[in-house]
């Protein structure tokens, strides 16, 4: 009996160890994910009696680490520039009749953000965010807005996600003609993405930054886009963006004061390349 026990014990021990291996592996934390970076470029040209040139680019890089991606660091930036050339006649019908070309900058803006989020549960998270923007045409010398974040995934599926965010913050800005302004705010935002096919998706973002003691003074931005993968990591994107300032910059030296348009929007088509 003792001899048989000695022969069976090693086999039994081996089976016991083998049964524990999957459990030990499952308990190990997942390896950290690499940075996931997307680079985009859009370009527009027209010619003939009027010429326009528009170019833009954007970058977004995201890092997730910790158990089930509990920590998320995101960095993004975009830049847009455009000019137009028109031809007019000087002294029509007169002795000095001639053609003159006028070059005008019609788009010149750039901005970026840095955010960190920490998942407390599968759906609830907290974090912080800071964003900044400059827009020559809208008269925004600068706008800087750091905010705290409390977010919740109302929908969190593999192909469909909707997150709502809020949190206190502060806004510093300098507007042409209007001057310096700063105020406490509370940020309301959402992020939505729907992958309705394997290679196609709809995405949308929204942000609202009102002055806490005067809600008629606010900044609102929104974007909605359609992306379709055309080859490996290349995606064709069509994106509509809107920037709204309830109390916009003015034109210097005007009396009475003439304010700029409250709303600026942009429709672009371009290519996005994603890599790890």
Alpha carbons 130 and 74: distance in angstroms, whole number: 11
Q: How far apart are CA 166 and CA 191, in angstroms?
A: 12
For 16, phi then psi, to 5°, come to -65, -45
Global pTM reads 0.83
Q: Which two tokens stand for residue 142?
A: 């600068």
Residue 219 domain-assigned? yes
Domain that holds residue 137: 112-275
Instruction: Tell me the pLDDT of the chain averaged across its residues.
Output: 89
Give domain status of residue 42, yes or no: no
Per-residue pLDDT band at 10 (split at 50, 70, 90): low
Please tell me the predicted confidence (pLDDT) of residue 9.
Answer: 53
Q: Give yes or no for a contact between 72 and 117, defined as CB atoms under 8 angstroms apart.
A: yes
175 inside domain: yes
| Strand runs labelled E in the chain | 36-46, 50-65, 71-90, 98-119, 124-135, 140-156, 160-175, 179-194, 200-211, 214-231, 234-245, 263-275
The CATH number covering residue 205 comes to 2.40.160.40
Using CA atoms of 25, 26, 31, 35 in order, give the dihedral in degrees to the nearest 10. 150
Residue 37 counted as domain residue: no
d(CA 3, CA 92): 118
List, for residues 48-65, the tens digit of each pLDDT value.
888 899 999 999 999 999
State the Cα–Cα distance between residues 207 and 169, nearest whole angstrom: 13
Look at residue 273 and tell me whether its pLDDT is greater than 90: yes
Is pLDDT of 28 > 80?
no
Four-residue CA torsion sign, 231, 34, 71, 121? positive
Residue 121 has pLDDT above 60, yes or no: yes
- Look at residue 28 and tell me if it is in a domain: no
Q: Which helix (H) or strand (E) holds 12?
A: helix 2-27
Q: Would you say residue 247 has pLDDT above 90?
A: yes
Token digits of residue 18: 């083998």
Q: Is the pLDDT of residue 112 over 80?
A: yes
Closest to 220 in 3D by CA, of 211, 212, 210, 230? 210
What confidence score (pLDDT) does residue 194 get? 98
256 cis-preceded (ω within 30 degrees of 0): yes
Comparing CA positions, the residue from 177, 178, 166, 176 lying closest to residue 212 is: 166
Residue 116 lies in a domain: yes
Residue pair 140/175 in contact by the 8 Å Cβ criterion: yes
Q: What is residue 179's predicted lDDT score, i.e. its pLDDT?
A: 93
Tell me the pLDDT tens digit for each residue of 192-244: 999 999 999 999 999 999 999 999 999 999 999 999 999 999 999 999 999 99
Residues of the chain with pLDDT > 90: what percent? 74
Domain assignment present for residue 69? The answer is: no
Hunting for tokens 């039994």 — which residue is that? Answer: 12
In 3D, which of 245, 249, 243 has the Cα closest to residue 262? 245
The tally of domains found in the chain comes to 1
Per-residue pLDDT band for 86 (boundaries 50, 70, 90) equals confident
Whether 74 contacts 114, CB under 8 Å: yes
**Is position 8 within any domain?**
no
Question: What pLDDT, on the 0 to 100 scale, is given for residue 13?
Answer: 47
What pLDDT is attached to residue 5? 43
Query: How does DSSP classify residue 256?
Result: S
């Amino acid at each position: 009996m003792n001899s048989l026990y000695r022969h069976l014990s090693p086999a039994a021990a081996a089976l016991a160890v083998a049964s524990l291996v999957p459990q030990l592996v499952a308990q190990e934390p997942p390896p950290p994910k690499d940075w996931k970076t997307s680079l985009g470029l859009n370009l527009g040209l027209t010619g003939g009696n009027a010429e326009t040139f528009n170019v833009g680019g954007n970058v977004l890089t995201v890092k997730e680490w910790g158990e089930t991606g509990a920590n998320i660091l995101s960095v993004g930036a975009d830049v847009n520039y455009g000019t137009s050339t028109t031809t007019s006649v000087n002294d029509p019908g007169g002795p000095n009749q001639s053609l003159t070309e006028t070059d005008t900058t019609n788009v010149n803006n750039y901005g970026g953000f840095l955010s960190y989020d920490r998942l407390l549960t599968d759906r609830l998270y907290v974090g912080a965010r800071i964003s900044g923007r400059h827009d020559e045409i809208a008269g925004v010398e600068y706008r800087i807005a750091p905010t705290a974040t409390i977010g919740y995934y109302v929908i969190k599926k593999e192909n469909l996600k909707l997150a709502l965010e809020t949190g206190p913050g502060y806004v510093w800005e300098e507007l042409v003609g209007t001057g310096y302004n700063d105020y406490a705010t509370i940020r309301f935002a959402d992020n939505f993405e729907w992958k309705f096919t394997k290679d196609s998706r709809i995405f949308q973002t929204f942000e609202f930054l009102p002055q806490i003691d005067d809600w008629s003074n606010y900044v609102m931005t929104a974007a909605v886009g359609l992306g379709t993968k055309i080859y490996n990591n290349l995606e064709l994107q069509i994106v509509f963006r809107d920037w709204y300032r309830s109390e916009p910059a003015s034109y210097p030296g005007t009396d009475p004061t003439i304010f700029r348009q409250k709303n600026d929007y942009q429709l672009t088509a371009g290519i996005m390349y994603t890599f790890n």
